[in-house]
Chains A and B, each alone.
Chain A
Amino acid sequence: MASQDTDTLVIPDAPRPIVQILRMLWRDKFAFCAAIFLLIVVFCACFGPLLFEDIATKQNLRGRNAPPFDFSKDWLFWLGGDALGRPLLARIMVAAQNTLMVASGAVFFSLTIGTALGLIAGYKSNLTSQIIMRMADVIMSFPSLLLAVIVLFMLPPSVFNLVIVLAITRIPVYLRTSRAEVLEIRERMFVQAAKVMGASSGRIVFRHILPVILPTMLTIATLDFALVVLVESSLSFLGIGIQPPEITWGLMVAQGRPYLTSAWWLSFWPGLAIILTTLSLNLLSNWMRTALDPVQRWRLEIARKKK
């Protein structure tokens, strides 16, 4: 959804797919706002540390716990300052990078590994699939937060290790969904036809089945992204995720906790950033579910014709 500039290139009879998508997005105003907000967050994640790293780490003890909405100051201070006088807005924009990096890494790995294993487990009904499913059961029955705690005690809690731990705990979700889908799809006519025409297992799975289940998996991934952001924030909040001086939103909430009674804004703003991001992802995922479903898509298309 990064390419917005294409909405001027409307071809009357056959709009490009990207234009179609943007139009469907525009139809759902909530999803549209969500997408805009996420673009801003992604922008902060990409360029925030570059632009604001210095300001966000510069201490200013005279501006400790500066209250928000003081518009006489620099705009970076509009959300107030933290316990060391660092501007909260700048810190939130810098922290977006770690928060999003951990979440997108974890979602990427769990999505690819989980889907691949699910395809294997669904297409090959034998010992392999049994072993894969039992392993998924073990991970599922393990309280994921505890697995993270134990592993992060052994390994230094770096961004990379956090990504691995979160990815492992989320793999079963994709594994089970893709397997269930494959079990249904492999009985369909087009798969049978491909088989009769002598397609290899790999070809059937990757060229015929994967494209069918991909929309579902991407919708789940969007939803899961929100969940991973929450889990990462909880871990950082408990003090076992990202360690200072690195920052994430969850860690910022934790750092503001001692000042709750005197300076609520220290914890409030980063928490709001988390909730707005996860809410946007949920809204977008809802939209995707409709937009990618051929049966439901008319809900987003029909109004376009009315206009």
Chain B
Amino acid sequence: MLPFLGKRAVASAISLVGLVILVFFLSRLTGDPTDLFLPENATQEARDNFRRLHGLDQPLIYQFFHYVGDLVRLDFGDSVRRAEPAIDAVMRGFVWTLWLAAITMSLVTVAAVVVGSLAAFHVGGFFDRVATFFSLIGASAPDFWIAIVAIVLFSVNLGWLPTSGTGTAWHWVMPVAVLFIRPFGLIVQVVRGSMINALNSAYVKTARAKGVKDRKIIFTHSLRNALLPVITVIGDQTTAILNGAVVVETIFGFPGVGKLMIDSILQRDFNVILAAIMVTAFAIFLLNVLIDILYAVLDPRIRY
């Protein structure tokens, strides 16, 4: 296990370094923050001061090594916009996104596994057709559209739910519900496909022949074996939300890391972009390791 983890860490570190280099130079090509933060009629002196203050007067390559030097000491630099350490802003947003992802994906997992398994039990039956059709719609739905239709329906017309922001539990309902739809549709289909295979296997026939109850066959015998591909997809979808549920966070004014990243790009707040990317990349690395461990737990044949 340990050598495997080490290998994974090295591979992830390499891609993270690539990512940081890429983002560092790409983001600086998007424009000069001086033009954005100072008024149009700012004097040349003020501009020079601003540049010197944020180290923007140095050659790009020097700025890069300076940044990496700070990074080694875990100093992610300051946010130009917020006048606070970039990492603080990122961690604050990241906690929100983490909660959003955790709540959404737990609901999705439970719901999709139950619906998918039941659909697979009677392939072609009424429940299967309904489930397949709705999961396909779910997997095809544009989330921004669902989000604004939901706002019109539930906030404006019915007045049940707040339109945006955070505060009460009611504020979480719509973002979670909108984020729920696509992963749910995808995972139901994967569970269904994988369960159909498992239910056709020899050990299920044996269990049936022994007279084991249907429910036990579905949820104890087959599910455990059918879950491996499902976990992969769950991991991918969680990654997608952690990477920033940008659209949903923007529409619902949710202070997560996705919205922070978009805002920082618009404001040319380079340090925040980089810190946000590194934090999420690290979280995704941990998530993937967790998924690999889960594989080994579920299927004892898997060894690292």
Contact = CB atoms under 8 A, between A and B. Distances in A.
B22 A138 contact: yes
Contact of B250 (A142, A143, A238): A238
A257 interface: yes
B118 interface: no
A56 B139 CA distance: 31
Interface string B260-304: 011001000000000001001100100000000000000000000
B102 interface: no
A250 B16 CA distance: 32
Contact of A274 (B136, B145, B265): B145
Contacts of A189: none
Interface string A136-162: 011001110110011101100000000
A137 B11 contact: yes
B19 interface: yes
A185 interface: no
Interface of B is mostly: helix
Given A238-B262, A275-B141, A275-B145, A141 B14 contact: no
Interface in B228-255: 243-244, 246-247, 250
A141 B281 contact: yes
B206 interface: no
Interface residues of B, number: 41
B31 interface: yes
Nearest to A154: B29
Given A141-B281, A151-B26, A237-B247, A253 B141 contact: no
A141 B148 contact: no
Interface in B50-98: none
Contact of B151 (A150, A230, A260, A278): A260
A52 interface: no
A264 interface: yes
A253 B22 CA distance: 32
A234 interface: yes
B49 interface: no
Nearest to A272: B145
Contacts of A260: 148, 151-152, 156
Given A143-B244, A234-B144, A271 B261 contact: no
Given A137-B11, A260-B156, A279-B136, A154 B149 contact: no
Contact of B137 (A145, A279, A281, A286): A279
A144 B188 CA distance: 24
A282 interface: yes
Interface string B157-175: 0000000000000000000
Interface in B1-43: 11-12, 14-16, 18-19, 22-23, 26-27, 29-31
Contact of A253 (B136, B148, B151, B250): B148
B244 A286 contact: no
A305 interface: no
5 contacts: A138-B15, A153-B30, A226-B140, A233-B145, A264-B152
Interface of A: 30, 134-135, 137-138, 141-143, 145-146, 149-151, 153-154, 226, 230, 233-234, 237-238, 250, 253, 257, 260-261, 264, 267-268, 271, 274-275, 278-279, 281-283, 286
Q: Which 6 A-B pairs have the closest CB atoms?
A: A271-B145, A278-B140, A143-B243, A153-B30, A279-B140, A137-B15
Given A141-B12, A234-B143, 8 more contacts: A138-B19, A145-B243, A145-B246, A154-B26, A233-B142, A238-B247, A267-B149, A279-B140
